[in-house]
Amino acid sequence: MLNFSVETIINILLSIAALLLVFTVHECAHGYAAYLLGDTTAKDAGRLSLNPIKHLDPFGALCLLIFRFGWAKPVPINPYRFKSFRLGTALCSLAGPLSNVIFAFLVNLIWDILFYMNVSVNPYVVSFLQILYVYNLSIAVFNLIPIPPLDGSKILLSVLPQKAYTFVLNYERYGFILLIVLLWTNLLNGILNTGVNNLMMLLGNMSGGILSLFWR
């Protein structure tokens, strides 16, 4: 019989809350980018919302908590409504990971402000900010991997010549299987860790640079 401590239960709840926020921002960014590019599909479906329930895929969120691999409910997008199919698709795909990087930067900035102001912070708030920060960067880096169905594959397709574009599309359906194998064998760990660590350094330097203008 499982015997969870109060600390464990709280950490699980904090992780769930962080996941809901991260996924919500990511999917909403996709939909809003599509809307700005001329596609109202997400708006018409009521997905331009910061309500986490609108974007929640319970099974995908559970998989992320347990297996560190999961997903949200994809925002419906019709790229044929974009003025440029490829450019619109690339920009719309990039919006999701970019929104998570910006979110992570804001979390880092908040933490630095609290540190500079010597504010005493509840340990659970500290844990939540840390989890939120790591989840944002992890999901951003993971989604930029150019393997279907991740956002990175759509960005890559937008710059490929027509022959290569057609070739990749023919094998796109196998991307999810490849992704599972790579994750299961931990072959992506090096790429993910390097990407997250580099982003942490970059965002930390940016946040520190901004605050140094105000606290000398």
Report which residue type is found at 172.
Answer: E
Catalytic residue among 19, 27, 34, 157: 27
Neighbours of 144 (CB within 10 A): 22
Place of tokens 């010549």: 161
Q: Spell out the SS3 assignment of the chain.
A: CCCCCHHHHHHHHHHHHHHHHHHHHHHHHHHHHHHHCCCCHHHHCCCCCCCHHHHCCHHHHHHHHHHCCCCCCCCCCCHHHCCCHHHHHHHHHHHHHHHHHHHHHHHHHHHHHHHHCCCCCCHHHHHHHHHHHHHHHHHHHHHCCCCCCCHHHHHHHHHCCHHHHHHHHHCHHHHHHHHHHHHHCCCCHHHHHHHHHHHHHHHHHHHHHHHHCCCC
Task: Look up 7 and say whether it is catalytic.
Answer: no
The residues that are catalytic are: 27
